[in-house]
Amino acid sequence: MPDGRHISDEALAEALDYVLQKHTQASKGGRSHADFRFGNVLEGLESYALPKGRLPDRGEKLLAVNTEIHPYGYRLFHGSWGKGRGRNDVEILESGTLNAEDDGTGRLVELQDGRRFKFVKVRRGGKDNWVLVGLGPAVKAAGEKDCNFLHGRFVDCRTGQTLANLCIIQAVSAKAFKKGLGGRTNLPFGLGMLFTNSNGFWMKGVPFDLELVRLDGDFRITEIQKMRRSFFDIKLPVYRAKDRHSVHAIEVPAGYCEAKGIKPGDILRAGKA
């Protein structure tokens, strides 16, 4: 990485905050790209522009242009500035924490949900260009698989249009079903946890609010329930399905459905990452 433009070796040993922001510029005909930023409060946010507007899938290589260091507080920014052709719109696609390390051939980053990527320097051209390679989730030994990692999208039941794209952690093992999101400090927008053939849910060890999106056998939304955070694991309520057709469920951040226009009748489509 270029000297003076990346997180220090000392910081790499600690979890870093990251954000993936969608940036739309009116001056470029409304075209969008994504900005992938990560860092800490002391050293700011190392930033990369992703022209494709997303992180790469497993085995995929996407261009990543290293840009200037951004203030740490910018990870929380969403909204608009400027007017007319100078208008810029910023939307947070996902955020959370990651770990990073240099292996001598590039920069490895692993997000808190297990997705991994590698920055590899492009040797041609004068710009500070990199290729971001999707490595998929970290591989576990046989018999240790607790979760699958999926790509998903919510589809409007009337128009067939995509309302939202998200990354999905699917609980597989009994351990994952029992723990759920317990032990996490937050759930970023753009990330959800899927449970198949499940009814009762509780918020043990989950200190943030959630929405529980209930699904029928065809993954059509039957109902949306609000689940309240727990600070003390005493007398926790159990959230059960009210609609008899509810079979599966996915937990998403509080306010996610309203923000994305997701409602009963819409459909969740999911496939392998």
Per-residue model confidence as pLDDT tens digits over 157-215: 999 999 999 999 999 887 888 889 988 888 988 899 999 988 889 898 898 999 999 99
Give me the pLDDT at residue 3, please. Answer: 35
DSSP-derived 3-state class of residue 47: strand
Contacts of 209 (CB under 8 A, 6+ apart): 226, 227, 228, 229, 253, 254
Cα–Cα distance measured from residue 59 to residue 265, given in angstroms and rounded to the nearest whole number:
34
Give me the pLDDT at residue 166, please. Answer: 93
28: left (phi over 0), alpha (psi -120 to 50) or beta: alpha
pTM for the complete prediction? 0.54
Cα–Cα distance measured from residue 254 to residue 207, given in angstroms and rounded to the nearest whole number:
12
DSSP-derived 3-state class of residue 74: helix
- Give me the average pLDDT of each 10-residue run along the chain (273 residues): 48 74 86 94 92 92 93 91 88 88 82 87 73 78 70 95 94 85 87 92 90 96 94 80 93 96 96 73
Give me the pLDDT at residue 2, please. Answer: 34
What are the b/e assignments for 174-191, b being 16+ CB within 10 Å?
eebeeebbeebeebbbbb
On whether the 147-272 domain is CATH 2.60.120.1140, my answer is: yes
Cα–Cα distance measured from residue 135 to residue 209, given in angstroms and rounded to the nearest whole number:
31
Give me the pLDDT at residue 1, please. Answer: 34
Residue-range domain boundaries for the chain: 9-137, 147-272
List the beta strands (DSSP E) in the chain. Answer: 16-25, 31-40, 44-50, 61-70, 79-81, 88-102, 107-111, 115-121, 129-137, 147-155, 162-171, 191-195, 210-215, 221-227, 248-253, 267-272
